[in-house]
Chain A
Amino acid sequence: DAGITQSPRHKVTETGTPVTLRCHQTENHRYMYWYRQDPGHGLRLIHYSYGVKDTDKGEVSDGYSVSRSKTEDFLLTLESATSSQTSVYFCAIGGRDRIYEQYFGPGTRLTVT
């Protein structure tokens, strides 16, 4: 199994507060992704990274920012959390040889009250 961890695994926060989720990989893979998963919507890409300090927006990037200062860490920040951002967030890495094969972390369940 790919070494991918996410922290925290669960978080409850209040509307308007900033929140940062961390994804850590031990595989030294170049591509990393942040998704959110909601009932009826499947997996939706928030942001992705194709190298240190190289990131790009996905289809639902509004209200989110990311940073990648080291290969192994990809951070997702909700600048001012809203109730619509209550979701399960997954980090994934692209395969080393087949970058389109993605390996997922265990997820973070975020509740914004």
Chain B
Amino acid sequence: TQLLEQSPQFLSIQEGENLTVYCNSSSVFSSLQWYRQEPGEGPVLLVTVVTGGEVKKLKRLTFQFGDARKDSSLHITAAQPGDTGLYLCAGAMDSNYQLIWGAGTKLIIKP
């Protein structure tokens, strides 16, 4: 069974703090995506990382793909209430077009 484990499952912090969300697996992925989902809406793609060791920045969000392409992290600097949502990671393998999904991290940023 291919699994993608996200941690923490839930995180509630104050505005202005930093945080990191992790996505880990024993499987190797050809690419990994991060999505954000707000209540009542579908997930929205934030970023795709494809190269081991790759780092991508999206304003205050930094995404990193592990060297072995088995894990990824999302770091948010100076979190804001607008960052509140469910963050999902999903890994793709060369062998098929299905994604392996993490269970998600529910993030709440308090003003």
Contact = CB atoms under 8 A, between A and B. Distances in A.
A98 B48 contact: yes
Interface stretch (B60-68, B75-83, B101-109): B101-109
A40 to B, nearest CB: 7
From B42, B97, B99, B104, name the one whose CB has the most chain A CB atoms within 10 angstroms.
B42
A106 interface: yes
Q: Indicate the size class of the contact surface on chain A.
A: 20 to 34
Interface residues of B, number: 20
A64 interface: no
Contacts of A100: 30-31, 33, 48, 92, 97, 99
A100 B99 CA distance: 7
Interface of A: 31, 40-45, 48, 50, 58, 90, 92, 94, 98-107
Interface of B: 30-31, 33, 40-45, 48, 88, 90, 92, 97-99, 101-104
